[in-house]
Amino acid sequence: MRAMMTQIAIFRSEASIDSISLPKVLSKPVSLHEICPVGCADHHIGLYTLLLQYCRQVWPDLQLRREFSQGPGTIFVGHQTTRRLPYIQKNGLQYGSVANARSKADIFAYIQREEVRSPIQIEELFAIQIPGTDKPPHVCAVVRKLYADDALPALPWDLL
């Protein structure tokens, strides 16, 4: 019964994170060692390393460290921390990812940094939570910046 209450508490905390609405049913944790972002030829410099570095910035007080490493801090266990999300909703808009076949129509967005808006493709959506800590889950996206070719017209009717 206690495990069920823990799952219910986790679900309630994940239902809305940073004004982001999540699916009601979340997947089991995935192994970050088995997922390699698009364009990544080396699994050793793959998603595990990318998300470990990111989570160190999100939670510097945890002093996250690699699996099997010695020293102080919290171990970032690659097969327990991360759940893949099929989609998220933010400000009334739904976003999907390339990793989810059902949400292909919602994989493009813009990221604005300062005054520059860049088109991106959402490769993966994750909810990350470090077991054994009091930190709430954190939603993050692995994105790929899209580039335009100067030879392409800005709008389709410019082809004429």
Give the pLDDT score at 149: 74
Q: What is the DSSP string of 14-72?
A: HSEETTEE--SSPPPBPPTTS---TT---GGGSHHHHHHHHHHHH-GGG--B-TT--SS
Q: pLDDT per position in the chain (160 positions), as tens? A: 333 343 444 444 445 566 788 888 788 999 988 887 655 555 446 788 889 999 999 999 999 999 988 889 999 999 999 999 988 888 888 899 988 877 677 899 888 888 888 888 998 999 999 999 999 889 999 888 887 777 767 676 766 6
Nearest-CA neighbor of 111 among 89, 149, 141, 138?
141
The ranges assigned to domains in the chain are 2-148
The amino acid present at 111, given as its one-letter code, is I
The answer, as to whether pTM is greater than 0.85, is no
Nearest-CA neighbor of 125 among 79, 73, 89, 76?
89
Give the pLDDT score at 37: 61
